[in-house]
Chains A and B, each alone.
Chain A
Amino acid sequence: MYGRRLRALSFSTAASLCLALGLVFFFAPLEADQGFLQKIFYVHVPLAIVALCGFVASGLMAIGYLRTGDSRWDMRSYVTIHMSLIFGVGVLLTGSIWAKGSWGHWWVWDEPTLVSFLIIFLLYAIYQPLRFAIEDPERQSRYAAVFAITAAAFVPMNFIAVRLSTAYVHPRVLGQTSNLPFKMAFTFLVCLAAIALLYVTLCKYEMTAKHTRGQLRALRRRLHSEDGLVGVGGRSAVASLVAPAAPALQMSPRPQAVPGRLSESS
């Protein structure tokens, strides 16, 4: 069920990325002020928007997990944060390149959006160390969900704080992106859609891989447990007939098989 429509999704992502790149290089006009450098805007800003939306969405998925206790929500939340972190590296790299090109420095502190993004990135970078420092899987999911919700609420709060702190020194002209010329705005929207599609596709791939790995592990466990039970003699039929007890038997084949074997040999 996870792998369904993955191929169609991959093809449409590849096609829309090609279309977006084509528009960026051959359709969108050169900006008068920054020239060719401004084209990085079509990669940097959509990446940032998609990554931030992913962070906030992971918080909503974590709420879903805490409300229902369904571990699929936890997995979605995990995959979303993971992918947003990867996109976040892209945002910081492209932002740095843009800053170097237009201001001459690799990092500038009076660009509030980039600074906020760095803080959010640093916070979410703790998500995985936190998760894997907790051993009990159920508690791991629960604590990760609490973190995801708190951090998602932090995203807008942090933007307000950092913007306030820099707007005071350097008054910014807001609404600069809202009055883009039509060709630029259209290209930007296509890029945003393409990168959002890329995000969804990669998330789907990761979820499918995780799901498949889980299935493979369950199958392998069943194979081992059947081997063990056949070795005891006659027990495998019982295991397959008593359906509700079967998963429990498959979960822990060795502790149950060993006493039987011992008692028979003695």
Chain B
Amino acid sequence: MSTVSHEPVKAPAAVRGRAAPSMRATVAALLRKELLIELRTLESVPGMSLFAVTIFVVFHFALNQNSLAGNEAAGVLWVTLLLGAMLGVNRLFVADSDQGGFDAFMLAPVNRSALLLAKASALALYLLVLELVAVPAFALLLAGASLGHAFPTLLAVLALADAGVAVIGTLVAAIAVRTRARDLLGPLLALPLLIPVVIGSARASAPLFGAQGSSGRWLLMLALYDLVFGLISYAVFDFLLED
């Protein structure tokens, strides 16, 4: 890990010019750096995916059920995804904090909110990979009915929930990484803040597993949550970098 992240990342053309780079170029460069580090070290995503599959096995034995339906199925799926996401949140800023990534970023003449956007996008991509593994694994291991008919709605729920988890996860990770007990404080801060996401996504996906009810209002609530906390994070994130 230490040998890889010190390698200089080649800046895109827009960054090399004399004028201050645009927001889009900055976010692209940061996101590229993030994904390159993850690709070379494979620190977060494989661990998150493996953890999710392990948790499904744990749930099978803990609940003593071969297949789940309705609210239980939605609950198990979302608790597992959330716990998997917590692993990614805990690792998100560790390299920046330990190896001077924050200092390097502060020296660059760029908009500081770019870091929030890049990190949140990276976390959303990690969550996407996590779900690419975990949802089929869930369908295979625990879901009773086939999920084929419910695919579009499930996709919408996953996208909206990912956006919320990515935004809150990035904000919380940036707070927790500068504390002494960062591995502990990250989940303790993130889980209460994400309870509305759990409510929204579990209730929205329960009908897909055969429970009563409809998904529409829950999707709306998730969208409202994403909007509110997206704006809040955008407003307060700069204050976490003023050192």
Contact = CB atoms under 8 A, between A and B. Distances in A.
B198 to A, nearest CB: 9
Interface in B202-239: 203, 213, 217-218, 221, 224-225, 228-229, 232-233, 235-236, 239
A205 to B, nearest CB: 29
A157 B225 contact: yes
Chain A interface residue bracket vs B: 20 to 34
Contacts of A143: 175, 178-179, 240
A149 B228 CA distance: 12
Contacts of B239: 66, 142, 145-146
A254 to B, nearest CB: 27
A146 B236 contact: yes
B92 to A, nearest CB: 16
Q: Which of A151, A164, A168 has the most CB of B within 10 A?
A: A164
Interface string B2-22: 000000000000000000000
Q: Which of B181, B195, B217 has the most CB of A within 10 A?
A: B195
Interface stretch (B42-50, B83-91, B186-194): B186-194
Chain B interface residue bracket vs A: 20 to 34
Interface stretch (A89-97, A123-131, A211-219, A242-250): A123-131
A133 B228 contact: no
B137 interface: no
Contact of A123 (B192, B236, B242): B192
Interface of B: 171, 175-176, 178-181, 185, 188-189, 192-193, 195-196, 199-200, 203, 213, 217-218, 221, 224-225, 228-229, 232-233, 235-236, 239-240, 242-243
16 contacts: A126-B188, A126-B189, A129-B188, A130-B179, A133-B185, A143-B179, A146-B240, A147-B189, A149-B235, A150-B232, A157-B224, A157-B229, A160-B221, A161-B196, A161-B200, A165-B199
Given A150-B232, A160-B196, 20 more contacts: A119-B192, A123-B192, A133-B179, A133-B185, A135-B180, A142-B240, A146-B171, A147-B175, A149-B232, A149-B236, A153-B228, A153-B232, A154-B193, A157-B196, A158-B195, A161-B221, A161-B225, A164-B218, A164-B221, A168-B213
